[in-house]
Chains A and B, each alone.
Chain A
Amino acid sequence: MPLANIGNLIGIWIAGLLTLAVLSYILGDNPVYRLAQHLFVGIAAGYAAALAWNHVLAPRLTRLVQAPAEAWPVALFALLGLLLLARGWRPLAALSGIPLGLLMGTGAALALGGILTGTLVPQLAASFVPLAPAAYGGGVMGWALALDAAFLLLCTLAVLAAFQYHRAARGSLRLWYRGVQAMGRLGRLVMMVAFGAILAGAALSFFTILQSRLAFLVYEWLGSLAELGL
């Protein structure tokens, strides 16, 4: 058997045994499952650390050493990175606040800006839909699409009403608040349907992964036994 095939075979066997080890959790927590779990966590952490060194830190530090005049900002960033480590040493712990503040500040600013311009405004704009069938070309399809748009609007308003909290109202506002409460109940129903769809999607995802692993075990792992003549 060629060397490449032997390497492939060993890989298939390790993957097969680890798959069985993870699936053994169905019988409860056990040492085999724990071994697989620790291996995955350890390998993932080691891989991420090696990648961070090889692809993020090392190239930049090399550039700094080779051309310090051009790459001097890297020294500044490296210093900020080192200051993060000062958190573990009490006399200098306060200095770690500088890079942390920078990270938190830029992260929060970008996230907030992104949410406003990338989610909130476009999603609000998308909820402004025409309700007239003529806007969709008329006919049966136009009416169907207009009804769809009206349903979208109703569901959006209902979910917004579900998060409308208020004190017990008296007088003329009472009727208004009762209407909002009724809409809120519909909104909670809409949210339950949405959460149900997400849960069903998750179940479908996990089932697909299970199918994929079983197909691997049947076709590749057991298939390798046939390749070995067993």
Chain B
Amino acid sequence: MIACQECGHNNPESAQRCESCGAPLGPALYRECPACGALNAAERSTCSRCLAPLTAPPSGADASESASDSSFTQDEPTAGAPQEDDPLADLEGLLPPAAVPDPVSQPSRFASHESSEAERDDAALLHRIATEPAPLGQVRREDAPTGRERMPDGIRWLLYLLVLLAALAPLITGNRGQQWESPRPQTLLLAEAVADIAPGERVLVAFDYAPGYGGELDPLAERVLTDLARRGAVLVAISTRPEGVGLARQVLGRVATFAPDYRYGANYVILGYLPGAERGLRLATQDLAAILPHDDVLQMPWEQLPAMQGIGTLNDFEATLLLTDDGNSARRWIEQVGTQVDTPTYALATARIEPLLIPYQQSGQLAALVGGVYGALEYPLEDAPERHDLHSTDGYLALLGVFFLAAVLANVVPWRMHQN
């Protein structure tokens, strides 16, 4: 028999829901201590209150029987002992450990408190949030769309297939849509700013994006950095994320192959990982060597590298190029560095966070903002390195068609289903 956790009704083992109240009958959440009667989480092997071993397997029927035999009842609450229907009884393992008061010598000051219905509801909600497992990939039965609200599996699979085909469209069509693209003013502004950088001037490049977004940001970074490298600018890479250092090595390594005689130490340097988020950035604006004493590749004090001569703080760079996929990271750079240095900051961002950064571009805090793979497509660069993942224009057009179709399906098909 399985006891319902809501109303206590005993149900057969095969029941999925309570025969009395209809509540779902999941696996038992409680295990009652045979020594003190406290209710513990089912997975505990010892009592969270008295540390006695919990040998009996969790069973709804046993739990309800032994609970009725226990020494305390709701009419005669024992100080310090949890009530049998106390929804917070098995949260002790999740909450910070606290000494349990002796129930005899130190009666609880809450003993006489009678909880209101609202308090009990809140406690039951907290219990549910804290104890129920959240399995990956499984939607709770009661939360899943039911009946006609749920999109039929066939249509869902059709949409998956169409998105896949849209992504493959450039491979099929040869990306003919690219001829219709023209650079936007922001992209041209960035290209002009890059053209104004004189040979030997230092540009700080912040690789603040995750490798997962490399497919979107690598092509854009590669084009802009190649342009800078060919113009003789010195690139100094830094990252406030550990994985950004690996990306800097990868991207700058490729850039060095597209620009003649572009060598590590003389023309570009990877300073490495800048820890400490806001604190690290603010300190770097005052004393860069204090926080990054060595470069990442040669592990040398970077004052010995020709590219770093005369650099002391972030203010000594002619410009900052921020490569980012994270709005918070971009904001940190703007707030902690942008307010402390006088040089312009240019942002290359993913399409996901581009709308979040537009206000900073319009207020002049970002000198230019270019986003996504389309930014890479628009960026004017002669003899640009060829990349297959740049051939994406036809894919975007096809995706637009899929979105339109999905909107029609989402609105018309359910309507027809309701009519039927």
Stretch binding the partner chain, chosen from A130-138, A181-189, A211-219: A211-219
Complex contact B396–A126 (CB within 8 A) = no
CB-CB contacts below 8 Å: B94-146 with A: 136-138
A55, B279: Cβ atoms under 8 Å?
no
Asked if residues B171 and A205 are in contact (CB atoms below 8 Å), the reply is no
Chain B CB within 8 A of A42 CB? no
The answer to whether A215 touches B279 (Cβ under 8 A) is no
**Stretch of B208-216, B253-261, B411-419 on the interface side:** B208-216
Selected from A114, A117, A212, the residue in CB contact (under 8 A) with B216 is: A212
- Of the A-B pairs whose beta carbons lie under 8 Å apart in the complex, a sample of 27, sorted by A's number, is A29-B136, A55-B273, A107-B277, A107-B278, A110-B278, A111-B278, A117-B339, A118-B336, A123-B359, A123-B363, A126-B359, A194-B355, A202-B352, A204-B351, A204-B352, A204-B396, A205-B213, A205-B351, A205-B372, A209-B212, A209-B215, A209-B216, A211-B167, A211-B389, A213-B215, A214-B167, A219-B388
Residues of chain B in range 311-354 having any CB-CB distance to chain A below 8 Å: 325, 331-332, 334-336, 338-339, 350-354
A residues apposed to B, CB below 8 Å = 26, 28-29, 44, 47-48, 51-52, 55-56, 59, 63, 106-107, 110-111, 114-115, 117-119, 122-123, 125-126, 194, 197-198, 201-216, 218-219
| B282 within 8 Å of A (CB atoms) | yes
CA distance A159 to B364 in the complex (A): 22
**Chain B facing A: main interface SS:** helix
- Cα A204 to Cα B359 in complex, Å, equals 20
Report how far A115 CA is from B339 CA in the complex, Å.
10
Residue-by-residue, is B160-189 near A (CB-CB < 8 Å gives 1, otherwise 0)?
Answer: 100110111011000000000000000000
Question: Cβ of B252: which chain A residues have Cβ within 8 Å of it?
Answer: none
Task: Name the residue in A55, A126, A208 with the highest tally of chain B Cβ atoms < 10 Å from its Cβ.
Answer: A208
Q: Which of B170, B214, B336 contacts A110 (CB 8 A)?
A: B336
Contact A118 B242 (CB under 8 A): no
Is B373 touching A208 in the complex (CB atoms < 8 A)? yes
In-complex Cβ contact of A51 among B160, B245, B278 (8 A) = B245
Q: Given A51-B242, A123-B363: A204 and B277 within 8 A (CB)? A: no
- Residues from 367 to 397 in B contacting A, C-beta threshold 8 Å: 371-373, 388-389, 391-392, 395-396
Task: Please count how many residues in chain B sit with their CB below 8 Å of the partner chain's CB atoms.
Answer: 61
Question: Which residues of chain B are within 8 angstroms of A219 by Cβ–Cβ distance?
Answer: 388
A205–B242 contact, CB under 8 A?
no
Contact A208 B242 (CB under 8 A): no
Instruction: Identify which of A52, A204, A206 gathers the most chain B CB atoms within 10 Å of its CB.
Output: A204
Within the assembled complex, what's the spacing in Å between the Cα atoms of A117 and B164? Answer: 45
Shortest Cβ distance from A63 into B: residue: B293
> Nearest 7 pairs between A and B by C-beta?
A212-B215, A118-B335, A114-B335, A29-B137, A126-B363, A205-B352, A212-B389
- Flag if B389 contacts A216 (CB, 8 Å): yes
- What residues of A have a CB within 8 angstroms of the CB of B332 in the complex? 114
Q: Give every chain A residue within 8 A of B245 (Cβ-Cβ).
A: 51, 55
CA distance A63 to B396 in the complex (A): 53
In the bound complex, residues from chain A placing their C-beta under 8 Å from that of B339 are 114, 117-118
In Å, the complex CA distance between A214 and B163 comes to: 12
Contact of A215 among B278, B334, B350, B388 (CB under 8 A): B388
Residues of B within 8 A of A63 (CB): 293
Tell me the nearest residue of chain B to A198, going by C-beta.
B355
Contact present for A218 and B395 (CB under 8 Å): no
Please, how many angstroms separate the alpha-carbon atoms of A52 and B355 in the complex?
33
Bound complex: CA A202 to CA B216 (Å): 12
Which residues on B sit within 8 Å (CB–CB) of A214?
A: 164, 167-168, 171
- Establish whether residues B364 and A59, one from each chain, have CB atoms under 8 Å apart when the complex forms: no
Determine the chain B residues whose CB is within 8 A of the CB of A48 once the complex forms.
242-243
Given A52-B275, A56-B273, A118-B335, the answer on whether A208 and B392 have CB atoms closer than 8 Å is yes
B294 contacts the other chain (Cβ, under 8 Å)? yes
Residue in A26, A114, A115, A218 with the greatest tally of chain B CB atoms within 10 Å: A114
CB atoms of A207 and B163 under 8 A apart: yes
| B350 and A210 within 8 A (CB) | no
- The residues of A that contact B275 with a CB separation of less than 8 Å are 52, 56
CA distance A51 to B364 in the complex (A): 35
Q: Which residues of B contact A118 (CB under 8 A)?
A: 331, 334-336, 338-339, 365
**Are A211 and B392 within 8 A (Cβ)?**
yes
Q: How far is the CB of B299 from chain A (nearest CB, A)?
A: 8
Residues of A within 8 A of B362 (CB): 126
CA distance A102 to B296 in the complex (A): 29
Query: Closest B-chain residue to A108, C-beta based?
Result: B278
